[in-house]
Amino acid sequence: MTIPAISRTVGTTRLEAVAADITTLALDAIVNAANESLLGGGGVDGAIHRTAGPELLAECRTLGGCRTGDAKITAGYRLPARHVIHTVGPVWRGGGDGEDELLAACYRRVIAVAAGNGIRTLAIPAISTGIYGFPADRAAAIAVRTVADHRNLDAVACVTFCCFGETTLRLHRGEIEALP
């Protein structure tokens, strides 16, 4: 059974959740769930680097890494997306190590970097919920609420929560539906 994507408007921004491979999306920017080295990895990081080609890694090498909770922008190279916004989510250590706040910081910084670079259409994967082990339901709530509450959100016309599977889609869909 496939779950229909969902879309609703917050202010002047459309928030939607879809099930897709983020490397296929032709948007102004896609977000990468990277590590602090910014030198590639597995998961969505590996997929983005594989599709973007070696020039992405070459540009990442010039950025001097990225702290957990921060975000940095590069070109998209061979990706259909024009830009990649790399962010580093927290590793889940049980919830007592500031993980929630660090994950929220990722989403805040991603929207701030998008707004600051004229990005109007943006897709974000479920940061930290794969290799970094963050509980998917808890992460979806943080993701949707942090984006919806962002004071610069109006600068971005559409934010797509790009889910890699039905469970993640169902979670993000539920959080979008539950927005006030």
Minimum distance, C-beta of residue 35 to ligand APR, in the bound complex (Å): 3
At its nearest, how many Å lie between ligand APR and the CB of residue 99? 12
* Per-position b or e across 26-38, b if 16+ CB within 10 A of its CB: ebbbbbbbbbeeb
Interaction site with ligand APR (CB under 6 A): 21-23, 33-35, 41-47, 89, 125-132, 162, 164, 168
In this structure, are strands 121-124 and 29-34 parallel, antiparallel, or unpaired? parallel
| Token output for 4 | 């229909």
Q: Kindly tell me which of 155 and 163 has the beta carbon lying closer to ligand APR.
A: 163
Ordered DSSP codes for 42-107: SHHHHHHHHHH-HHHHHHHHTTT---TT-EEEEE-TTSSSSEEEEEEPPPPSSS-SSHHHHHHHHH
Q: Quick check: is 45 catalytic? A: yes
- Is there a contact between 33 and 86 (Cβ–Cβ < 8 Å)? no
For the bound state, the minimum distance from the C-beta of residue 78 to ligand APR, rounded and expressed in Å, comes to: 15
List CB contacts of 94: < 8 A, sequence separation 6 or more.
none
Considering 21, 28, 45, 100, which one is annotated as catalytic? 45
Closer CB to ligand APR, 48 or 155, in the complex? 48
CB of 73 to ligand APR, least distance (A): 17
Whose CA is closest to 168, among 144, 151, 146?
144
Nearer to ligand APR, 92 or 149 (CB): 92
Which amino acid is it at 17?
Answer: A
Q: Which residues form the catalytic set?
A: 45
